Amino acid sequence: MRTRIGNPSSEAHGQPMRVIDWIAPAGTDPTTLPAAVGAALGVTFVSRALVHGFISTSLRPDGSVYVAVHLYDVGCANPACGTGHGATVLQAAPSVEAKRAAMVTAVGEHATHRLTGGTGDVTTLKTLGFATAEEKLHARGHPVKWVDAISAQCEDCGKVAFTDGPLR
């Protein structure tokens, strides 16, 4: 499990978020994750009134599930802000660092596919079928300007690709 600060999923507000991601074991039901993770962390993901973030999942070919928990660091209560959340208040999430173990207990973590925030993460993600950031740019005909451990930027248009996320 790793934690990143930033906006790797291009959330519409463009504000920094805490993103905790890991690989859940095969057989994990993605539809149960909002309730299980929310209860473990003491936050809300599904509500018409107030949410602390959102969860992204990707079912991998081996049956495991890539899970990314996005927690807001900056809230928004303006229904007219133009990002589409309407009357739902986006609330800054409380600190959850002390509750990470409870989240792993609630959801599970794959025995061998582990994300640590280190250099081995790209290899782990490629093993699960993700393309590298550089491969994503090349596949769309973008010349690569720079590459780092998890991202790459197009020389011409400036779009950035991430190994574990979409081309932006």
DSSP character string of 115-153: --SSTTHHHHHHHTTPPPHHHHHHHTTPPEEEE-SSEEE
DSSP state of 92: P
Look at residue 43 in the predicted model and tell me its pLDDT. 94
Look at residue 146 in the predicted model and tell me its pLDDT. 65
CA-to-CA separations, 154 to 27, 32, 51, 132, in angstroms, rounded: 37, 37, 34, 14
CA-to-CA separations, 76 to 36, 91, 94, in angstroms, rounded: 24, 7, 15
Look at residue 107 in the predicted model and tell me its pLDDT. 92
Look at residue 30 in the predicted model and tell me its pLDDT. 93
How far apart are alpha carbons 147 and 161 in whole angstroms? 9
* Cα distance between the two ends of the chain: 24
pTM of the model: 0.80
How far apart are alpha carbons 138 and 116 in whole angstroms? 27
Helices (H), the chain: 33-41, 100-107, 121-127, 133-139
SS3 106: helix
Find the angle CA(37)-CA(48)-CA(99) to the nearest 5 degrees.
20
Look at residue 149 in the predicted model and tell me its pLDDT. 60
Domain boundaries, the chain: 2-107, 131-162
* pLDDT mean for each 10 residues of the chain (168 residues): 80 82 94 94 89 90 92 88 82 89 90 87 86 77 71 74 60
